[in-house]
Amino acid sequence: MLRVALIGCGAIGSSVIELLKGDASLAVVAVVVPQEGLAAAQALLQKFAPGVQAATAVPASGVDLVVETAGHAAIEEHVLPALRRGTPCVVASVGALSAQGLAEKLEIAAITGGTQVQLIAGAIGGIDALAAARIGGLDSVRYTGRKPPRAWKGTPAEQGRDLDALSAECVIFEGSAREAAALYPKNANVAATVSLAGLGLDRTHVRLVADPAVDENVHTVEAEGAFGRFELSMHNKPLAANPKTSALTVYSAVRALRNRAAALAI
């Protein structure tokens, strides 16, 4: 049985815990949250993982895998030390890697600990194809993220516009993946994932759209290179607990965990 420490107990983390309930190959042995989140996390664990205690730090022993679902600060505080100790980690908050030097810090920490950090694909597919195409040479990668206006609330998209009053699609951002992930960290994980698999944060073109005509999160990736050309479009249902996040992000995290424990993985 693979013993898992989960960092974060928000919309994604709590959904992961629920989906892993009863899984014979995986056991959540610790849930790491800030001090102020201990009571809420413990209440959730009583429902889905009785006997598991919420904590403010990853245990130094008894953990086979650390899974992060809590953002940039959690990567710095918990993932980096775990990697240095030799514990493999799975990172869901890929958008955090738009911060200057964070990807390099993760790589160095993993090398120091003789282990590996895995970035999950999250809400987008085709990452395996894009990463393979990079080997032969990529000429361009373009990502368009289209979501309902309500999914952009609480972001810079609200500056100078009334999202509730939109009657037609509105381009709220156009630029590099690095800029997109920095300005829209809770909406642009996909942009960061696509860029890290392909041409990098500064050479991947991103377009973010608020569209009142859609009720799903629509992700489109276009790539051209020595391999040829591909276009991928995904219409993802938002996570019920958080419209800024696709439900597929949760399923991607659970898949990564089950692949770690499975005898045959794909």
Q: Which residues are catalytic?
A: 219
Distance of CA 66 to the CA centre of its chain: 14
Residue with tokens 């205690």: 53
Question: Is 189 marked as binding a ligand?
Answer: yes
Question: Is 123 marked as binding a ligand?
Answer: yes
Task: Summarize the annotated binding site for NAD(+) as residue ranges.
Answer: 123, 189
